[in-house]
Chains A and B, each alone.
Chain A
Amino acid sequence: QVHLVQSGAEVKKPGAAVKISCQASGYSFTDHPIHWVRQAPGQRPEWMGWIIVNSGGTRYSQKFQGRLTITKDISARVVYMELTGLRSDDTATFYCARDGGTAWPHHGMDVWGQGTTVTVSS
Protein backbone atom coordinates (compact mmCIF):
# COMPACT_ATOMS: atom_id res chain seq x y z
CA GLN A 1 0.00 0.00 0.00
CA VAL A 2 1.39 3.38 -1.04
CA HIS A 3 1.38 5.95 1.75
CA LEU A 4 2.66 9.42 2.45
CA VAL A 5 2.64 10.28 6.16
CA GLN A 6 3.28 13.85 7.25
CA SER A 7 4.49 15.31 10.50
CA GLY A 8 2.06 16.82 12.96
CA ALA A 9 0.35 20.15 13.36
CA GLU A 10 2.42 23.25 14.07
CA VAL A 11 1.72 26.58 15.71
CA LYS A 12 4.20 29.30 14.83
CA LYS A 13 4.68 33.00 15.47
CA PRO A 14 4.97 35.47 12.62
CA GLY A 15 8.47 35.54 11.22
CA ALA A 16 9.26 31.99 12.27
CA ALA A 17 9.96 29.02 10.02
CA VAL A 18 8.23 25.67 9.74
CA LYS A 19 9.65 22.42 8.43
CA ILE A 20 7.26 19.61 7.57
CA SER A 21 8.27 16.05 6.77
CA CYS A 22 6.64 13.60 4.37
CA GLN A 23 7.50 9.92 4.87
CA ALA A 24 6.91 7.68 1.86
CA SER A 25 6.27 3.94 1.88
CA GLY A 26 5.01 1.22 -0.41
CA TYR A 27 6.72 2.24 -3.65
CA SER A 28 10.13 2.94 -5.13
CA PHE A 29 10.85 6.28 -3.46
CA THR A 30 13.18 7.67 -6.09
CA ASP A 31 10.85 6.93 -9.01
CA HIS A 32 8.26 9.66 -8.40
CA PRO A 33 8.59 13.41 -7.86
CA ILE A 34 6.91 14.93 -4.83
CA HIS A 35 4.84 18.11 -4.83
CA TRP A 36 3.88 20.39 -1.98
CA VAL A 37 0.46 22.04 -1.97
CA ARG A 38 -0.98 24.63 0.39
CA GLN A 39 -4.67 25.02 1.08
CA ALA A 40 -5.96 27.87 3.19
CA PRO A 41 -9.34 27.40 4.88
CA GLY A 42 -12.15 27.53 2.33
CA GLN A 43 -9.75 28.16 -0.55
CA ARG A 44 -8.60 26.23 -3.57
CA PRO A 45 -5.38 24.22 -3.34
CA GLU A 46 -2.24 26.14 -4.29
CA TRP A 47 0.80 24.44 -5.77
CA MET A 48 4.03 25.46 -4.03
CA GLY A 49 6.76 23.44 -5.69
CA TRP A 50 8.16 20.03 -6.49
CA ILE A 51 11.28 17.95 -6.07
CA ILE A 52 12.54 15.24 -8.40
CA VAL A 53 13.65 12.79 -5.75
CA ASN A 54 16.36 10.92 -7.62
CA SER A 55 18.20 14.05 -8.78
CA GLY A 56 17.20 16.55 -6.10
CA GLY A 57 16.09 19.00 -8.76
CA THR A 58 13.48 21.47 -7.52
CA ARG A 59 11.10 24.05 -8.90
CA TYR A 60 9.21 26.56 -6.80
CA SER A 61 6.28 28.81 -7.42
CA GLN A 62 7.48 32.40 -7.76
CA LYS A 63 5.01 33.26 -5.01
CA PHE A 64 7.16 31.38 -2.49
CA GLN A 65 10.57 32.03 -4.02
CA GLY A 66 13.10 32.91 -1.37
CA ARG A 67 10.97 31.47 1.45
CA LEU A 68 10.53 27.86 0.35
CA THR A 69 13.01 25.00 0.36
CA ILE A 70 12.17 21.39 -0.53
CA THR A 71 14.75 18.74 0.29
CA LYS A 72 14.92 14.97 0.51
CA ASP A 73 16.66 12.22 2.46
CA ILE A 74 16.67 9.17 0.24
CA SER A 75 17.94 6.75 2.88
CA ALA A 76 15.08 7.76 5.20
CA ARG A 77 12.51 7.97 2.36
CA VAL A 78 11.52 11.45 3.52
CA VAL A 79 10.88 14.72 1.73
CA TYR A 80 10.93 17.99 3.68
CA MET A 81 9.28 21.34 3.06
CA GLU A 82 10.58 24.39 4.90
CA LEU A 83 8.81 27.73 4.72
CA THR A 84 10.43 30.73 6.36
CA GLY A 85 9.23 34.20 7.21
CA LEU A 86 5.80 32.95 8.18
CA ARG A 87 2.88 35.38 8.05
CA SER A 88 -0.68 35.08 9.26
CA ASP A 89 -1.84 34.38 5.72
CA ASP A 90 0.36 31.26 5.66
CA THR A 91 -2.13 29.67 8.05
CA ALA A 92 -3.23 26.64 6.06
CA THR A 93 -3.06 22.91 5.62
CA PHE A 94 0.05 21.80 3.77
CA TYR A 95 0.07 18.58 1.76
CA CYS A 96 2.78 16.54 0.14
CA ALA A 97 1.63 14.61 -2.90
CA ARG A 98 3.25 12.11 -5.22
CA ASP A 99 3.38 12.82 -8.93
CA GLY A 100 1.76 10.01 -10.87
CA GLY A 101 4.59 9.89 -13.40
CA THR A 102 8.21 8.88 -13.12
CA ALA A 103 9.90 11.59 -15.15
CA TRP A 104 8.93 15.25 -15.46
CA PRO A 105 6.41 16.04 -12.70
CA HIS A 106 3.28 16.90 -14.66
CA HIS A 107 1.09 13.81 -14.44
CA GLY A 108 -1.22 14.83 -11.64
CA MET A 109 -0.89 14.02 -7.95
CA ASP A 110 -2.02 10.48 -7.35
CA VAL A 111 -1.15 9.93 -3.68
CA TRP A 112 -1.50 12.57 -0.98
CA GLY A 113 -0.33 12.87 2.58
CA GLN A 114 -2.88 13.43 5.30
CA GLY A 115 -2.05 17.13 5.55
CA THR A 116 -0.29 19.20 8.20
CA THR A 117 -2.09 22.18 9.69
CA VAL A 118 0.10 25.20 10.30
CA THR A 119 -1.29 28.05 12.35
CA VAL A 120 0.59 31.34 12.33
CA SER A 121 -0.44 33.58 15.18
CA SER A 122 1.16 36.00 17.58
Chain B
Amino acid sequence: DIQMTQSPSSQSASVGDRVIISCRASQPIDTFLHWYQEKPGTAPRLLISGASGLQSGVPSRFSGSGSGADFSLTISSVRPEDFATYYCQQTYSTPYTFGRGTLLEIK
Protein backbone atom coordinates (compact mmCIF):
# COMPACT_ATOMS: atom_id res chain seq x y z
CA ASP B 1 0.00 0.00 0.00
CA ILE B 2 1.14 3.57 -0.66
CA GLN B 3 1.76 5.46 2.58
CA MET B 4 0.89 9.15 2.71
CA THR B 5 2.83 11.25 5.20
CA GLN B 6 1.48 14.67 6.07
CA SER B 7 3.26 17.42 7.92
CA PRO B 8 2.77 19.08 10.23
CA SER B 9 0.23 17.05 12.17
CA SER B 10 -1.09 20.29 13.64
CA GLN B 11 -0.44 23.95 13.09
CA SER B 12 -1.51 27.13 14.82
CA ALA B 13 -2.13 30.16 12.67
CA SER B 14 -3.66 33.60 12.88
CA VAL B 15 -6.21 35.01 10.49
CA GLY B 16 -4.33 36.37 7.50
CA ASP B 17 -1.36 34.01 7.81
CA ARG B 18 -0.02 32.00 4.91
CA VAL B 19 -0.18 28.28 5.66
CA ILE B 20 1.51 25.45 3.83
CA ILE B 21 0.71 21.77 4.45
CA SER B 22 2.91 19.08 2.99
CA CYS B 23 2.14 15.55 1.85
CA ARG B 24 4.67 12.94 0.76
CA ALA B 25 3.86 9.63 -0.89
CA SER B 26 5.93 6.51 -0.25
CA GLN B 27 6.32 6.08 -4.02
CA PRO B 28 5.69 8.31 -7.06
CA ILE B 29 2.00 8.87 -7.72
CA ASP B 30 2.13 11.24 -10.71
CA THR B 31 -0.53 13.85 -9.88
CA PHE B 32 -3.14 11.48 -8.46
CA LEU B 33 -3.26 13.49 -5.26
CA HIS B 34 -6.27 15.24 -3.77
CA TRP B 35 -6.84 17.53 -0.78
CA TYR B 36 -9.88 17.54 1.49
CA GLN B 37 -11.07 19.79 4.28
CA GLU B 38 -13.01 18.27 7.16
CA LYS B 39 -14.90 20.04 9.92
CA PRO B 40 -16.28 18.23 12.99
CA GLY B 41 -19.47 16.32 12.31
CA THR B 42 -19.42 16.85 8.56
CA ALA B 43 -18.18 14.88 5.58
CA PRO B 44 -14.87 15.76 4.00
CA ARG B 45 -14.98 18.38 1.26
CA LEU B 46 -12.83 18.11 -1.86
CA LEU B 47 -10.72 21.25 -2.30
CA ILE B 48 -8.07 20.28 -4.84
CA SER B 49 -8.00 17.36 -7.28
CA GLY B 50 -5.18 16.16 -9.48
CA ALA B 51 -2.63 17.94 -7.26
CA SER B 52 -3.51 21.45 -8.45
CA GLY B 53 -7.08 21.55 -9.77
CA LEU B 54 -9.22 23.88 -7.69
CA GLN B 55 -12.73 22.53 -7.26
CA SER B 56 -15.70 24.66 -8.23
CA GLY B 57 -16.79 26.90 -5.39
CA VAL B 58 -13.52 26.62 -3.46
CA PRO B 59 -11.97 30.03 -2.70
CA SER B 60 -8.91 30.98 -4.71
CA ARG B 61 -6.84 31.40 -1.53
CA PHE B 62 -6.48 27.60 -1.66
CA SER B 63 -3.92 26.19 -4.06
CA GLY B 64 -2.13 22.90 -4.57
CA SER B 65 1.15 21.97 -6.17
CA GLY B 66 3.50 19.07 -6.69
CA SER B 67 3.93 15.90 -8.67
CA GLY B 68 5.67 12.59 -8.21
CA ALA B 69 5.91 12.09 -4.47
CA ASP B 70 5.92 15.58 -2.92
CA PHE B 71 2.89 17.82 -2.73
CA SER B 72 1.67 20.85 -0.86
CA LEU B 73 -1.54 22.68 -0.07
CA THR B 74 -1.25 26.43 0.45
CA ILE B 75 -3.77 28.77 2.02
CA SER B 76 -2.57 32.23 1.03
CA SER B 77 -4.40 34.15 3.74
CA VAL B 78 -6.22 32.09 6.35
CA ARG B 79 -9.77 33.03 7.17
CA PRO B 80 -11.75 32.00 10.28
CA GLU B 81 -13.75 29.40 8.35
CA ASP B 82 -10.54 27.63 7.29
CA PHE B 83 -9.79 26.23 10.74
CA ALA B 84 -10.35 22.53 10.16
CA THR B 85 -8.51 19.27 9.48
CA TYR B 86 -6.94 18.77 6.07
CA TYR B 87 -6.24 15.39 4.47
CA CYS B 88 -4.35 14.38 1.38
CA GLN B 89 -5.36 11.24 -0.53
CA GLN B 90 -3.73 9.32 -3.34
CA THR B 91 -5.69 7.57 -6.06
CA TYR B 92 -2.71 6.27 -8.04
CA SER B 93 -3.31 2.71 -6.92
CA THR B 94 -5.74 0.87 -4.71
CA PRO B 95 -6.19 0.89 -1.82
CA TYR B 96 -6.59 4.64 -2.10
CA THR B 97 -4.93 5.95 1.05
CA PHE B 98 -5.26 9.12 3.08
CA GLY B 99 -2.70 10.97 5.15
CA ARG B 100 -3.12 11.24 8.92
CA GLY B 101 -4.40 14.78 8.60
CA THR B 102 -3.26 18.26 9.58
CA LEU B 103 -5.28 20.11 12.19
CA LEU B 104 -5.23 23.83 11.53
CA GLU B 105 -5.94 25.66 14.77
CA ILE B 106 -6.44 29.27 15.69
CA LYS B 107 -3.43 30.84 17.36
Contact = CB atoms under 8 A, between A and B. Distances in A.
Instruction: Indicate, yes or no, whether A interacts with B.
Output: yes
Interface of A: 35, 44-47, 59, 61-63, 95, 97, 100, 105-110, 112-115
Nearest to B56: A110
Contacts of A114: 43
A91 B98 CA distance: 19
B86 to A, nearest CB: 11
Contacts of A45: 36, 38, 44, 87, 89, 98
Interface in B90-107: 91-92, 94-101
Interface of B: 32, 34, 36, 38, 43-46, 49-50, 55, 87, 89, 91-92, 94-101
Secondary structure of the B contact surface, majority rule: loop
A6 to B, nearest CB: 10
A106 B50 CA distance: 9
Given A44-B100, A45-B44, A110-B49, 15 more contacts: A44-B87, A45-B36, A45-B89, A46-B98, A47-B96, A63-B95, A97-B43, A105-B91, A106-B32, A107-B34, A107-B50, A108-B89, A109-B34, A109-B46, A112-B45
B38 to A, nearest CB: 8
Contacts of B87: 44-45
Contacts of B96: 35, 47, 106
Contacts of B49: 100, 107-108, 110
A114 to B, nearest CB: 7
Nearest to B92: A106
